Amino acid sequence: MTNTPLKHLAVIMDGNGRWAKERGFKRTKGHEVGAETIRAITTYCAQYSEIETATFYAFSTENWKRPKLEVEFLMKLLDKYLQKELSTYQQNGIRFQAIGNIDVFSKSLQTRIRKTEELTQNNRNLTQVLALNYGGRTEIISAVNTLIAEGKKVITEEDISTHLQTPYTDIDLLIRTSGEERISNFLLWQLSYSELYFSPTLWPDFTAKELEDIIQQYKTRTRRFGGIK
């Protein structure tokens, strides 16, 4: 096994709707069970000493195209999740952070997000990042516009990296569940040299044991970053 560090894990949580449909449930049921999976995976990551950050794609800028009732449910579920998970964060030393444009959310949900960030800011075992109303292209454009506003005439890779929302910008390993094999506008800059793993498992059925197996497989890979080893 090679020495392949895993500091930043990113996850595209896909398959909630299909999981529910296969069982004759409404799509919302899949989202509810999927939220429980986030807790299990985040807790596992907090106990895995090497992982510093776990970023989850929770709601994309494209998800507004979904039926209005489903979007409203997801907003309520997020508020409920953060309220319920605060004790999990504190007990496991997990810092919560949101990326994306949350200004379009309700004032109460914005307050919940910012309050949860504030209350967990001193936790050190893991940073859990939820990408909310997030799009990779939008994040890059925002970083460039900020740099222009600051008066930058020549923009470097380091400039953009330091102006992105995501902490520890480089992603070591990206996992997408449900069998789909695309990255869907997620962390486009940060995924440049990431290892990718596509699991056939629908997100509500994804377990810490499967994550452990994927990590062990990841550890056997040799990351060359464009060079030769």
Which of 3, 16, 63, 145 is labelled catalytic? 63
Residue ranges of alpha helices (H) inside 61-199 are: 68-92, 107-120, 136-149, 157-162
Q: Other C-beta atoms within 10 Å of 124: how many? A: 10
In angstroms, the CA 18 to CA 202 distance is: 8
CA angle 72, 74, 79 (to 5 degrees): 100
Q: Other C-beta atoms within 10 Å of 41: how many? A: 23
Determine whether 145 is an active site residue. no
Which of 14, 16, 92, 172 is labelled catalytic? 14
Determine whether 63 is an active site residue. yes
Residues 58-78 as b or e (16 or more Cβ within 10 Å = b): bbbbebeeeeeeeeebbbebb
β-strand partners of 10: 55, 174
Q: Any idea which residues carry the catalytic annotation?
A: 14, 63
